[in-house]
Structure formats: structure tokens, C-alpha cells
Amino acid sequence: MTRFNIRKRDGLARTGIFQTDTLTVKSPVALTTESLFPGPDTPVGSNLPLCASSALVNQFRPENNVQPVTIHPQLDNPAQSGDCVMVANWHTAFSNPKNYVDWLIGLKEKTPVDTAWFAPGSALPSNVHVLCYSGFDLFDFRAVDLKTAQRLFCTPEGEFPAEALGSGICTCTGCQMKNLYLHNRQALLHEIALVTRFIEEYQVRDLVESRCRLNAVHVAIMRLLDNQYRFMERHIPIARSCVMRANSGESLQRAEVRRFADRVINQYCPPKTDVAVLLPCSAKKPYSLSQSHRKFQRAIAGRAHELIVTSPLGLVPRELECIYPAGHYDVPVTGYWDAEECAVISSILTRYFKRHAYRRIIAHLEGGALKVAQMAAEQCGFTLEYSCQDHPTSDSALNALDSSLAGERRIKDDRLHGMISYQFNIDLDTKGTTLRGHYPELFYSKNNAQIFSIDTGTGLLRPTFDGWQLIPEGYRVYIDDFIPEGDVLAPGIVKADPGIRDGDEVLVIGPRAHATGRAALPMDDIQRLRRGVAVRVRKIKRL
């Protein structure tokens, strides 16, 4: 009997607790295979090549009812929730990144979610970040022991000849004792501990982006996974409260970045005005708290819709500036935008302005952001006005911005309308809502009843029961005939809107109770899951 409880998820990566009859371990982890699965080794069919044909795999079908359960790209899923599943020879997948990603997605799609994934003979300090990022949990020491036999010194940055042992690169006890075997094993454990830390901080992607640079295959795997947007998007939480480091070109392809742009273009409803000002971003987030944006807002004085042009997100309407990742990203600021950045971001602006027409679009921009706005104007066929001859925060530029808006009417500041359309895909009439609190900690009420608060960590709206009445559909989780005590667990769920992502605000509906809360996993996983928290409950209402 084995069990696997997922604790934290960050994309495909996760931390968890894996239990057998004799052992309980926190994952990700490396162990000796004998301690994981004592007993005779290598059951039939457990060592087939990944590229083996369906005919071959079916001729040597793995034994059932033994742990670990062998899974294979050509085999129907034999595993159940709680099993340890093993993908034999996974180290060979590194020789072809395209196959790696195809096999991984195929296997992930058909295997129960709450299974512990074991990649025997694969983990090295230099690749374990990719393995964890791909959703593997359990490792052994065979790959590092093989490196020891080959007289190679393992580090997260790669393998070196064994003389490196005494060179001061590492000072672990293995190195102190000049024991290569011990160093290599400790280096793997050390790297797994580091990856675990990044998963717990919801920043494993940032680590992978930095670690992968020394290995072309790892970069290729990350990029090919990004190309599988539909698959990756489902696994990425809707919001986090930590910094998103957008320090590489690949940031443009991150699922959360693409999802933000898609929602701004397709779900977000702009305020009723036909004048827009395009503004540069600020290093400080949310932008409103920066000196430069205070100056912009003073000059604009509510007479235009404020749209921030920024990389990698594209376009951030002022109302969405606190929402993840708009309120959380960090980019290296040089003023220079490369060709790919310009192409991706200008296409976001183009798609937005094709959908939302403005009578006047004023570019209060310089450098790369200005170039991108010009590219979009050309694509859409609108004429851009310019209010900025030199630096956007200079007095002359701010005066020009102010006078360009002379005679334009003030528009109503309606953050709630913008945020609710972005988050719940509805065009809500916000007439009669009132606001209290201090930015960004805000509360919205209607008829003296609170309807929404704002999660200052993620920037998302948190509906109350009254708030949910304004959201007619979606984001519902239906539970069995019970009153939740604390969080709702996966087995208690009867059905759920499959569009719900990890981190989405949800309304729990059951015959005996309703509850508000936040989804702890993507709801299309529910069918393939037996254990674990599905909704972190905030409030319960007995019926």
C-alpha cells in the first residue's frame, strides 16, 4: 500500500509526502532504490525502452499490483491514485527534447494526478531541476553513482573531471574527505533541496530559467513545453503573491504571461471612454505607487483611459495593475526592446485595439514602448498622437500631456468593472457600488452589504456570498451532501467547472451548505484525483 499527498504545486512541479508500508518521505527526494522498494528487482516489462512500439510493450506487459507501477507512452494507464509510477529509462528522453515533451504530456494526461513519479537512473545535480519542473518526485542515486564510476565530479552546472574534487568548487563533507562518491550523492541531495525550496516559493520556473542556460537540451525542453500553451496553462496557478522574474526572452512565452494578455484582449471590458493614453511602466509595482505614475495621473486627471505598455505582459489597463502578474513582475530595464519583444508586444496591442476602438490614442512613451505602439498603430490603421518629445516625466512632456487632454471629459474611476471582467469574464453594471479602505486594500459594497474585497497578495477580487450573486455563472464547485469543516477535499466534489484553475476564487454549492473559497488545484484534475485539498474555504453558510 502506497500513498502520495501533494502539498504544494507550482506548474507540473510539486512537493508532497510519499508513504509506503515501511517509509514516509517528503518529495522531491533521492533515495536508494532498495530503501524505496525492498524485494526482488526488475519485474517483467519494467525496463522497456521509451520508444518501444505498442506491439512490443503489449508483448511484455508489466506485472500489475507491484510497486512501482510501470507506465509507458504506449501503454494504457495501469496506475491508481496513491501509486508510485515509474518511467523506466527516462534519462534517454534527454537525447531528444521533442520526444521528451511529447512523452511527458502523454503520460501526464493519462495518469492519475496523485501518483508519485519515479525516474530511476536519471537524476543528476545538473538536470534534476528539469525533472522536478516536469513533475517527477522520486529519484535514486544510480545516475550520480555512474558518474562516480566514470570519475566525473557532479555540480548543478555540469560534470567535470574528478580532479575538481579538491579545487574548492564544493566544500561538502565528501569533498573534505576527497570522496567523489559521497560528494556526487550530496550534490544531488543539495540541488533537490534547493529545487524544493523554489517550488515551495512558487518560483520553480525562475530557477529553471536560470539553471537551464548551460545545457541546450534543457533550454529546448523548457521552450517546447511553453509551446504547449493549453497544457501548461491548465497547470499554472491563476495568481501568486511572489515576484515573477521576467529576466529572459522566454518570459514572453510563460503561460501566465500569455494568459494575462489573452484575458486583457478577450475578457477585460474597458471603461466607457474613447480616449486612451499609453504610458510606460515603472519599476515599482503597482505602478500607481511610483513617482512617475503619480505625475502621469496628475497630468491626465481622469480624462483618459490609462494603458501601460510593458514587456513581457504587453498591455496593462490601469484597473488591472495590482493583479498577478501585473503587480508582481520584475524586468531588467535598459530601454532597449529586442525584435522578438517588439513583435510579440505589438501584436498584443494590435489585437486589443482591433477589439476596442478609441477616438484618440495618445502615446506618452519613448524608446521600445513607443516603437511597439507605432507598430500596432500601423497594423490597426489608427493615428497615434504624441505628447512626449523628451523623457515622459519631464515637465514639458507632462505639460504636453495635460494640454493634449484639454476639453476631454473626466471618466468615472471604475476599477471594479475592469477587474471583474478580467477575473470572471462578465460585464458587470457597477452602479450603486461603494468603495472603502485605503489603496490597494479595498472593499466594495452594494446596498450596505460587502460584495468584494481585494486580496492584496495576488490583487484578485474575493467575492462574498452577496458578491457571488452578481456573478451568474462559472467558478462553481458542487459538493456532496455534507457541511464542510474547513477545507473541501477532492473526494467530496461531485462536479466542478473545468475552467477553474489553481488559485481561482470559487463558490462551493452543496445541498446542506454553501462556501466561498479559493481553488487549490485545477478542477479538470478532479476526475483523476482521490486525495488532497480541492478548495481552501474562507466562509461557510449552512442552509
User: What are the φ/ψ torsions at residue 316 (nearest 5 degrees)?
Assistant: -120, 105
Please state the closest distance from residue 160 (CB atom) to Zn ion, in A: 12
Least distance from C-beta 499 to Zn ion, angstroms? Answer: 48
What does the block give as the cell for 176? 573534505
Q: Candidates 183-191, 318-326, 339-347, 531-539 — which segment interacts with Zn ion by CB under 5 A?
A: 183-191
Buried b (16+ CB within 10 A) or exposed e, 316-346: bbbbbbbbbbbbbbebeeeeebeeebbebbb
**What type of residue is 69?**
V
The distance of closest approach from Cβ of residue 189 to Zn ion in the complex, given in angstroms and rounded to an integer, is 11
Here the cell at position 430 is 457597477
Given the complex with Zn ion, which of 188 and 460 has the nearer CB atom? 188
Question: Which member of 97, 135, 174, 270 binds Zn ion (CB under 5 A)?
Answer: 174
Q: Using the rule CB under 5 A, give the single segment among 74-82, 88-96, 176-184, 351-359 that binds Zn ion.
A: 176-184
To Zn ion, the closest distance from the beta carbon of 155 in angstroms equals 9
Output 62 or 174, the one with its CB closest to Zn ion.
174
Residue 124 burial (C-beta neighbours within 10 Å; 0-12, 13-18, 19+): buried
Can you tell me which of 13, 170, 199, 276 binds Zn ion, judged by CB under 5 A?
170
Q: Is 503 in the site for Zn ion (CB under 5 A)?
A: no
Q: Which is nearer to Zn ion, 156 or 312 (CB)?
A: 156
d(C-alpha 469, C-alpha 222), whole Å? 41
Q: Closer to Zn ion at the Cβ: 166 or 498?
A: 166
Position 307 contacts Zn ion (CB under 5 A): no
The yes or no reply on residue 183 touching Zn ion (CB under 5 A) is yes
Region of 70-78, 144-152, 168-176, 447-455 interacting with Zn ion (CB under 5 A): 168-176
Least Cβ distance, residue 186 to Zn ion (angstroms) = 6
Minimum CB separation of residue 287 from Zn ion in Å reads: 45
Please count the residues of this chain forming the interface with Zn ion, following the rule CB under 5 A: 5
CB of 171 to Zn ion, least distance (A): 7
CA-derived radius of gyration, the chain: 26
End-to-end C-alpha distance for the chain, whole angstroms: 39
CA separation for the pair 204, 281 (Å, rounded): 26
Task: For CA atoms 455, 458, 459, 463, give the dihedral sign.
Answer: negative
Stretch that binds Zn ion, among 27-35, 127-135, 175-183, 273-281 (CB under 5 A): 175-183
Give the nearest distance from C-beta 159 to Zn ion in angstroms: 13
Which of 171, 334 has the CB closer to Zn ion? 171
The beta strands (E) that lie in 272-328 are given as: 275-280, 305-310, 314-317
**86 sits near Zn ion (criterion: CB under 5 A):** no
Q: Does 175 bind Zn ion (CB under 5 A)?
A: yes
Q: How far is CA 291 from the centre of its chain?
A: 30
In this complex, which beta carbon is closest to Zn ion, that of residue 155 or of residue 253? 155
At a CB cut-off of 8 Å and minimum separation 6, what does 317 contact?
Answer: 264, 268, 270, 305, 306, 307, 308, 418
CA distance 520 to 533: 6
Site of interaction with Zn ion (CB under 5 A):
170, 172, 174-175, 183
